[in-house]
Amino acid sequence: MFRSLVKSLAILATLSVAIPYASAFVCNFIGGWPQTKNRFRRAFNPRKVYSLNYALLQKLMIALRYAPLYFQWRRFYKKAGPHIVVKDIPYGRNDKMLDIYFPYSHSSNEKASYPVVLFVYGGAWGSGDKDMYGLLCHNVSNKLNVIVCCPNLSIYPQGYVDDMIQDVVDSVSWTFDNIRSLGGNRNKIMLVGHSSGAHLCAMTVLELLHDELVQTGSSQKEPVLARSIRFEEQHFTGRHASGDNSRQEKLDTLEVSSASSGSFCVVNDTDEKGAASTDFNNAASMFEVLNLQNNGEHEAVEVDTTAGGELLKSDGCSEEGNEEQEREEEEDDDNDSVVTVQRKGSDPPPTLTDLCKCIKAVIGLAGVYNIADHFVHESGRGLEDISSMARAMYGQEHFDRFSPAYIVKNLSRSVSLPKFVFLHGTEDYVVPLTSTTKFGDALTDIFADVSVRIIPMCDHYELCLDLMDSKRKYYDSVMEVLLDTTKRVFN
């Protein structure tokens, strides 16, 4: 009896150690080992191992919970006809595809000019596919009576974060060029992103502001942000290598730029600089907590519409730097900027400012806006080394230049930004609520028009995936915010 008990305890103790460490080994083997000197010691640290296994159990529970929805969206996307969605339209420099979803009223009203929602999916910059979000895009299209564009992205290791931002910029440019022929209004575009997709939407807007920042003389307060990542034309061919050599080649092209939004240099294919409104007298910041009612509707419990903050001073762009940049552009006909806009045909290409002005609002669902903060959060869950985030950002030394919350703090409040609406659930353990509130505060400090909606008891996945089925718990709460924003910015 005693021997059997001891034997059982020994087996249990062995399994409680063997299984977690085996899981940690597999995860690091697939996702990548820590890029440190003592990588095995770090990978098999007991706290890290058990934190990682707990995160894996959470992931497994999410997969089981949404398994029925998986078969639902697969069946929908496979059977959806061209009157609902036009699939696999090529776009952009990275040879990606996008889908266009139409509302039911589109077929009976050919002369209508529908607003456009561009949905950018999440997936930690390393997973996801447009096919997964067909149901979501279909529901949004009909509920909001808009055309929805859903592009595929150059997720890691196909590309890095700048490639993904380029994809979003290219999809906006494609929409601007082509959506009128499909019944859309190219001057009424709204970006909606979930998780890492929300990060890409925010970065896209900041990059499209480049022309205005140059024109108005707005710049960052810290000289370090003047550095930019610039790439040769081969960057846009889509032939990406995922190895360290490709990454090092990109990092070796670091140069100094006299004007950038703080992440990398953005130069348009034309020298034209579009003027944009800088009137923010009516800007407002709104923080709300949404309570679910029995009928599925939400109620604004707490509202603060005051927008305050001191004026952030900027030193402006140096004349010498601008002259040097102009000489470089004259000497080099090939535009090697990481985010550029090209357009076929005889019509002149839209400026970056043109594209930014057509974006009327950005809605971020549980977004990541400070990469350094999120890396700390991932470390607490044991995921920082197997996550694709740090690698997609070129390593920790480049976190700030790809963090919208950091970039915004160094902008003047005269810059023209679209309306920002953020949603976040209180039960989100994947991306903490502070990610949204801190970015909202940073935007408020420069007098941007910001609304932060907090949904009690909602987690990271429910905030987005519940939009796929009108019977799900948070469908009405989230969709109502999207509908309200659409009415405000498009009417």
Q: Which CATH class, in words, describes the domain spanning 67-490?
A: alpha beta
Give the pLDDT of the chain (491 residues) as one tens digit per residue. Answer: 677 777 777 778 777 888 888 888 888 888 878 877 788 888 888 888 888 888 889 889 999 999 999 999 999 999 999 999 999 999 999 999 999 999 998 877 777 899 999 999 999 999 999 999 999 999 999 999 999 999 999 999 999 999 999 999 999 999 999 999 999 999 999 999 999 999 999 999 999 987 666 555 554 443 333 333 333 223 233 333 444 555 556 665 434 332 333 444 443 444 443 333 333 334 445 566 765 544 444 444 443 433 333 323 333 344 444 444 444 444 444 443 445 444 445 467 788 888 989 999 999 999 999 999 999 999 999 988 889 999 999 999 999 999 999 999 888 777 889 999 999 999 999 999 999 999 999 999 999 999 999 999 999 999 999 999 999 999 999 999 999 999 999 98
**CB count, 10 Å around CB of 473?**
13
Helix axes 67-79, 46-65, angle to 10 degrees: 50
Nearest-5° Cα angle at 400, 398 to 405 = 150
Contact partners, residue 330, CB within 8 Å, separation at least 6? none
Contact partners, residue 263, CB within 8 Å, separation at least 6? 162, 203, 206, 207, 228, 229, 401, 402, 407
Q: Name the CA dihedral angle for 459, 465, 468, 471, rounded to a multiple of 10 degrees.
A: -20
Question: Using an 8 Å Cβ cutoff, are 169 and 259 in contact?
Answer: no
Q: What is the pLDDT of residue 245?
A: 54
**Residue in 310, 330, 314 with CA at minimum distance from that of residue 260:** 314
Question: Using an 8 Å Cβ cutoff, are 220 and 214 in contact?
Answer: no
**Residue in 197, 230, 188, 262 with CA at minimum distance from that of residue 418:** 188
Contact partners, residue 249, CB within 8 Å, separation at least 6? none
Q: What is the pLDDT of residue 216?
A: 56
Sheet of 285-292: strands edge to edge?
85-91, 96-101, 147-151, 114-120, 184-194, 359-365, 419-425, 450-455, 285-292, 298-300
- Compute the half-sphere exposure of residue 100: CA atoms within 13 Å on the CB side of its CA: 23
Q: What is the pLDDT of residue 265?
A: 41
Tokens, residue 30: 């697939």
CA 101 to chain centre: 20
Report the C-alpha gap between 194 and 125 in whole angstroms. 11
Report the C-alpha gap between 393 and 160 in whole angstroms. 7
pTM across the whole model: 0.77
Report the C-alpha gap between 416 and 438 in whole angstroms. 20
Report the C-alpha gap between 398 and 383 in whole angstroms. 19
Residue appearing with tokens 């944009």:
276
